[in-house]
């Protein structure tokens, strides 16, 4: 009944042009022939969770063992570190089994991706931070899950943990023994498994969800498209202003995300094997589902305020307009981002010339170079400082939902 009345309200709102209503996920029709597995099958990833991990984490939560696991995990940082002592035996057995890269991982491509990340770092900070980060708030399921989980009540800490993931993924040795990304991925996968057990126990979450268990393989793919696929598409577009990206770099950047998805527990049969297949999946699974929710509007405001709490050398209006610029005004309107038409004019004229100058296509220093440079460097510092003074905020497995 609660859902029904919510649906009627949404329909009325949409009819009045007040809200946008996302399509409910259609039956899955993306063939796995375009996946790493290459099997020509159609399995619905919205009904696939993580059979390997979920029952284990649920039993650890029920037995009250997660706080001790989090304590033990504090010293488990590098991929080459031995597993920490004192973990529950079932968790150690599980970690020994999954603590390896997939057989199809290609270190040469991962190395190339690391070089690419380094060369593109300034654009990546901007696109992940203002683009993907804010786009996640118009993915209804993700916005509601994040809002109603424990971390939703403390977005500063949550953002810092998410930065840890991005930071570890972009490090030159991300997948090597000295890097940390594989460990960070395991912690994230366990966190998602905990959320799958905890959120269904939250009455407010149950009141707004359209699916009984959160964070399916399909949901993770959608988030990947808001990250990797979106960023790749933007970088392709910015080639018209001189940005260089070779076919081998594009392939390497995709490969990095493929391995990342595998480490998060996504089945090979769903992981796209080319950018064309990824774009097809994104058009099908991400684009029609984007929509505002009260939770997402609130989260976007909190996230943008977090970013503007450090001095980026620009006004809040400029920062909100930049988010609109990289995401579209449709999304900006959904999130009720205030307009600042003067800043918009500066961005539309100045950003292309900034990129052209940085990429050596224009010998003239644009008048607005300093403005954009301070902004981009400020975002980079925010990211590199992990949103606070700590450089590495460890990811911890939640034991409760958002209070209240």
Name the nearest CA neighbour of 217 among 48, 43, 1. Answer: 48
Q: Which one of residues 53, 180, 223, 343 is an interface residue with ligand HEM (CB under 6 A)?
A: 223
Q: What's the CA gap between 249 and 238, in Å, rounded?
A: 15
| Complex with ligand HEM: residue 150 or 340, whichever CB lies closer | 150
Other Cβ atoms less than 10 A from the Cβ of 93: the count is: 11
| Complex with ligand HEM: residue 32 or 401, whichever CB lies closer | 401
In the complex, minimum distance from the CB of residue 296 to ligand HEM, in angstroms, rounded to a whole number: 12
Q: What is the DSSP string of 326-340?
A: HH-HHHHHHTTPPP-
Other Cβ atoms less than 10 A from the Cβ of 232: the count is: 21
Eight-class DSSP state of 129:
I
Q: What's the CA gap between 173 and 184, in Å, rounded?
A: 13
Contact track, ligand HEM, 174-203, x by CB under 6 A:
--------------x--xx--x--------
Residues contacting ligand HEM: total by CB under 6 A: 25
In the complex, minimum distance from the CB of residue 98 to ligand HEM, in angstroms, rounded to a whole number: 16
Is position 291 an interface residue for ligand HEM (rule: CB under 6 A)?
Answer: no
Binding to ligand HEM, residues 149-168 (CB under 6 A)? 149-151, 158, 161-162, 165
Radius of gyration of the chain (CA): 21
Other Cβ atoms less than 10 A from the Cβ of 95: the count is: 16
Q: Which one of residues 132, 145, 293, 353 is an interface residue with ligand HEM (CB under 6 A)?
A: 145
The answer to whether 32 and 41 have CB atoms below 8 angstroms apart is yes
Contact track, ligand HEM, 243-282, x by CB under 6 A:
---------------------x------------------
Q: What's the CA gap between 79 and 257, in Å, rounded?
A: 17
List residues near ligand HEM by CB under 6 A. Answer: 141-142, 145-146, 149-151, 158, 161-162, 165, 188, 191-192, 195, 214-215, 219-220, 223-224, 227, 264, 395, 398
């Amino acid at each position: 009944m609660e859902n029904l009345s919510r649906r009627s309200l949404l329909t009325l709102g949409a009819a009045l042009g007040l809200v946008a209503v996302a399509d409910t996920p259609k039956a899955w029709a993306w063939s796995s022939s375009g996946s790493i597995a290459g099997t020509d099958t159609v399995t619905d990833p919205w009904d696939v969770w993580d059979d390997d991990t979920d029952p284990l984490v649920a039993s650890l939560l029920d037995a009250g063992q997660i706080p001790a696991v989090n304590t033990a995990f504090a010293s488990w940082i590098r991929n080459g570190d031995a597993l920490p002592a004192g973990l529950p035996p079932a968790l150690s057995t599980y970690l020994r089994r999954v603590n390896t890269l997939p057989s199809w991982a290609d270190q040469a491509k991962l190395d190339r991706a690391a070089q690419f990340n380094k060369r593109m770092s300034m654009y990546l900070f901007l696109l992940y931070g203002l683009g993907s980060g804010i786009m996640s708030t118009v993915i209804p399921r993700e916005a509601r899950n994040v809002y109603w989980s424990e971390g939703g009540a403390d977005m500063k800490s949550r953002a810092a943990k998410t930065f840890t993931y991005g930071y570890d993924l972009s490090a030159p040795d991300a997948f090597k023994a000295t890097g940390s990304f594989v460990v960070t991925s395991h912690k994230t996968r366990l966190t998602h498994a905990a959320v799958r057990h905890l959120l269904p126990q939250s009455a407010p979450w149950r009141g707004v969800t359209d699916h009984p268990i959160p964070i399916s393989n399909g949901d993770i793919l959608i988030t990947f498209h808001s990250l990797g696929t979106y960023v790749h598409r933007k970088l392709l577009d910015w080639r018209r202003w001189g940005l260089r990206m070779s076919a081998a770099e594009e392939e390497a950047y995709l490969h990095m995300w493929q391995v990342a998805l595998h480490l998060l527990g996504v089945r090979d049969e769903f992981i796209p094997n080319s950018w064309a297949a990824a774009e097809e999946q994104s058009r099908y699974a991400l684009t029609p589902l984007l929509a505002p929710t009260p939770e997402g509007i609130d989260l976007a405001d909190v996230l943008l305020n977090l970013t503007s709490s450090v001095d980026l050398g620009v006004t809040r209006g400029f920062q909100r307009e930049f988010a609109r610029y990289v995401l579209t005004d449709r999304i900006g309107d959904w999130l009720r981002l205030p307009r600042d038409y003067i800043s918009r004019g500066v961005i539309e004229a100045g950003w292309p010339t900034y990129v052209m100058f940085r990429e050596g296509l224009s010998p003239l220093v644009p008048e607005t170079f300093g403005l954009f440079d301070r902004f981009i460097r400020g975002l980079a510092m925010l990211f590199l400082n992990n949103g606070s003074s700590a450089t590495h905020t460890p990811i911890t497995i939640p034991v409760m939902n958002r209070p209240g």
